[in-house]
Amino acid sequence: MKPATAEHIPFLDYFRGVAILSVFLLHSLFATFGTDRLAWNGWFFNWHVGKSLLLLLPATFGWVGVPIFFTISGFCIHLSHQRSRQTGFTPFFLRRFFRIYPPYLATYFFFAFLFPPTRLSFSMGSLSSNVEELLSHIFLVHNFTDHFFFGKVVGALWSIAIEVQLYLLYPLLLIAASRWGWQKALLLTAVLEVGMRGSESLVTFLQPDHRTTHLLTGSPFYFWFSWALGAALADAWLKGKPLPFRNPCNFIWPVLLIVAYFFRPFYPFLFTLAALTSVWMMALLLERRTYDFITIGWKKYALDHLRWAGIVSYSAYLIHQPFLNATASGCSIIHGHKLPSLLLYGVCLLAWFPIFGLSYLCYRYLELPGIAWGKRIIAQRKATAL
């Protein structure tokens, strides 16, 4: 296989679009029903629920958007760092900081201080708890505690904290790969992630009602292998080596994913299986001579929207959940009582279009200026050094 030369890989935008829309479907389910999956009854799901939730059961798989984001992140981070050809990790961390943190902090402050449904109260009765909530999110450590993991403001931000911590682990991953090769480096991360997930699975097997602390399930090591898969794929693609994970036999991963979804002791491994499925599909697409999709008519408009959803996916991820929950609550207030579940879910789905518009504005006026700001600082540092 020839070394990679393209600066942009279009299908990744579509992948991100699938990921954000999957998460949106899942959170629309939560806004409608107050849950995003069936409850457990011992080791299996409790199927004695309303017909509406059963009809929308495929939407409960929307969580796969997060492992898709993680594998794409590992791929793109390694691709970007290797192409930059810059020595040291200071430029890397500066790029990641200005890419991630300004829009994250701006949107979090908006929801914490200005958006009425999620605004934090700093009265004497809740001052201490809300200050801790605020500080844990500012410093991106809220994923380590049960109390702040989902938080009071934007529940989806747990993955952003883990993502940033995986950036901090990236130099260690590169050191391991340079000394022992990518196979052994992946083995190291797999032992950590699968071992931690296995311990959770064992506890669940022995005590189905036990809830594992987020000190374990919120650790970046709990996701390290899933993220590193994308980096290993990027390294092989950059160097023109045979791509890992491209073997057609890897179809076993989505099969195992679906089977494991319905059996609680295997539930902790779902994220890893979804990441393996994602990186397999990425490898297959990377072997194509063209990475874009050419269509006409309504399919073209649908795919164009999917691509743009991928482009603004980070902003959409940051802002969609509070607006979704506010939409569901607002429907109840306006209508006088809760709408039928399927109708309310439909309203939540329609909320995607204004949320998409807001996401574009956030991308245009927060993400892009933050990226440009980081590039200027890196260029100034380089000029000063010369």
pLDDT greater than 70 at residue 213: yes
Confidence grade of residue 144 (pLDDT, cut at 50, 70, 90): very high
Question: What pLDDT shows up at residue 129?
Answer: 87
What's the mean pLDDT when you consider all of the chain? 90
pLDDT greater than 50 at residue 250: yes
Question: What pLDDT shows up at residue 337?
Answer: 66
pLDDT greater than 90 at residue 125: no
Residue pair 71/234 in contact (Cβ under 8 Å)? The answer is: no
pLDDT greater than 60 at residue 292: no
Residue pair 19/68 in contact (Cβ under 8 Å)? The answer is: yes
pLDDT greater than 80 at residue 209: no
pLDDT greater than 50 at residue 118: yes
Domains in the chain: boundaries: 11-385
| pLDDT (average), residues 342-352 | 94
pLDDT greater than 70 at residue 379: yes
Confidence grade of residue 95 (pLDDT, cut at 50, 70, 90): very high
Name beta bridge partners: 41: 44
Residue 96 gets which letter from DSSP?
H
| pLDDT (average), residues 352-370 | 97
d(CA 22, CA 62): 4
- Percentage above 70 pLDDT, the chain: 94
| pLDDT (average), residues 306-321 | 97
Question: What pLDDT shows up at residue 290?
Answer: 57
d(CA 224, CA 161): 13
pLDDT greater than 80 at residue 184: yes
User: For residues 334 and 276, which has the higher predicted lDDT (pLDDT)?
Assistant: 276
| pLDDT (average), residues 158-172 | 97
pLDDT greater than 50 at residue 165: yes
* Cα–Cα separations (whole angstroms), residue 198 to 202, 252, 272, 280: 6, 20, 11, 23
Backbone angles phi, psi at 228, to 5 degrees: -65, -25
- Type and span of the H or E element at 40: strand 40-41
- Of 281, 350, 279, nearest to 31 by C-alpha is 350
Q: Give the count of beta carbons closer than 10 Å to the beta carbon of residue 353.
A: 10
Q: Mean pLDDT check: name the lowest of 26-40, 159-173, 200-214, 371-385.
A: 200-214
| pLDDT (average), residues 78-102 | 89
pLDDT greater than 60 at residue 4: no
